[in-house]
Amino acid sequence: MLLEFRAEVRSDSDWSLFVRDSYNGLAGTLTYAPSYKRDGRTYAPDMASSDIPVPRLSSPWLGKPLHHVSARQRAHAKLPPVLVWICGLLIPYLEHSAGAGSKATTLQYETGSWFGRLLKRSVPSTIETEIVPMRQTLEHHDARPSLGGNTFIAIGLFALMNAGCGAQTGPAPISGDVLEAKGWRTEVVSGDLSHPWSITWLPDGAALVTERSGRLRLIRDGKLDPRPIAGLPPVLAHGQGGLLDVSLHPDFSQNQLVYLTLAIGTPEANRTALARGRLDGYTLQDTEVIFENADPKSGGQHFGSRMVWLSDKTLLMSVGDGGNPPISFEGENIRNQAQNPGTHFGAVLRLKDDGTPPPDNPFGSQPGARPEIWTIGHRNIQGMTLDPLSGRIWANEHASRGGDELNVIEGGNNYGWPEITYSYEYWGPRISDETSRHGIVDPKLVWTPSIAPSGLTVYTGNVYPEWQGNLFSGALKFQQIRRLVLDGTEVIGEEKLTIGQRVRDVRQGPDGYLYVLTDEDAGALLRILPSTDQE
């Protein structure tokens, strides 16, 4: 017995997206297989398919009538939803019981129909869940689907599996939607950036900006220099990977060293790496890769990566867990390596400025552990910052579906992923039944639904006095910045600043203003300005 549900999403562009979910009740597997098409060619994303064990079903009590009636005919006849569901779910059982063999049943609904609206209210996360992996892949191909226009979606068992999923509970506070902040506006400092990822400022006030495609750009006096900085190492721009974070050595004024995190290798075998070079005009001289993940992975997911300098001039660097199932490592899901200090996956590393591990790292004396590891149990940290007043290291972290985290990072700690999490699989059930455990650090805040957190900074300037000491986190999914009011390590207030574009990085500039990088084909550097309600 086979149930197969297909989704076709036709956007206003020339891309067509397809998601096929097949449930085999006899074998006890669910296959999730997305793809997309353009110009007659079919592309498969990084997560091309996934076979997931699920309960087996049998239908000895079901009879044989109606096996000649297709669910599509019933749907198009505008039968009540209950009958449509019955047809869509029972016909394959009936056909199997009648000896007709395995059949594929396709249900297709227009999202504007009353049934589509009912379904969306019942399982609002389903559409977003199915589109997010596609969107990540499409960005690499300079295109993105839209849910507007002529959109048709077929949803079956996949929707039913999601319908019962509510937010996990635990000791951490859970945040959803919040009120809009007042008294601010944005202005464009510079445009024409292609998926910018990170920004840092030179002592003369000019800014270095990374573009995920592999270019390092210079912005001076609000103008983007047309000449990219030369001398970078080879960059793998694939999926979420590419040229990522940029940071200056604490003694930059003496040594002119610029540090970069990046993806290297091939789509089939790649790693997160750390490079440095000496900035000389428009060139990085003596550039070298000084650290790379000890183990390669496949696909274009979960590279991390952010950097933070500590007061002793050692460097913290985040590395992602390697990706979602079915990406594997040594015969198991690669994400499980986040609990293995014998790999660099899913960890925060502490390095000396030459890329080697300090001798006092907390896992250095543990047999089999990588000496660079500072903390373990992370999925994909893409925001990390030092609070210069308290000395705390804050990090935000992508979960899967719901359960994004805000954490205080302290050496030697385990942050739980994937064994302890508030998150759900993209395709349905909880990833773990536990949200807290002795010896695992609880998050300071959990975002459900996921906001897809990005750049993170603590504001210490004087331009917005009421924001001093607050954390600001990018939110890619909702095109926002989240302002977090802190009392020590407790989040006591939260607002949103809706930017209207995907926010990749948030930083405080040397002039005391907050700056924002938008992760778009035509990305921009924005400045946040104080304003009155009348403006």
Q: In whole angstroms, what is the distance from residue 500 CA to residue 479 CA?
A: 5
Amino acid code (one letter) for 525: L
Provide the strand spans (E) within 352-391. Answer: 373-376, 381-386
Catalytic-labelled residue, pool 67, 96, 302, 378: 302
Look at residues 182, 208, 212 and name the one whose alpha carbon lies nearest to residue 197.
212
- Alpha-carbon distances of 368 from 295, 344, 364, 386, rounded to whole Å: 14, 12, 9, 30
**3-state SS record for 97-133:** HCCCCCCCCCCCEECCCHHHHHHHHHCCHHHHHHHHH
> CA neighbours within 13 Å on the CB side: how many for 25?
20
Question: In this structure, what is the dihedral angle of CA atoms 440, 503, 246, 384, given to the nearest 10 degrees?
Answer: -20
In 3D space, the residue among 449, 333, 346 whose CA is nearest the CA of residue 53 turns out to be: 333
Cβ pair 136, 452 in contact under 8 A = no
- C-alpha dihedral (437, 443, 445, 451), degrees to nearest 10: -100
DSSP annotation of 375: E
Contacts of 82 (CB under 8 A, 6+ apart): none
8 HSE (CA, 13 A, CB side): 10
Active site residue 302: yes
DSSP code string of 497-510: EE-SS-EEEEEE-T
User: Which DSSP state fits 462?
Assistant: S
Please give the Cα distance from 52 to 342 (Å, whole number): 27
Q: Which residues contact 486 (CB under 8 A, 6 or more apart)?
A: 469, 470, 471, 492
Q: SS3 letters for 130-196?
A: HHHHHHHHHHHCCCCCCCCCCCEECCCHHHHHHHCCCCCCCCCCEECCCCECCCEEEEEEEEEECCE
Which residues are marked as active site?
302
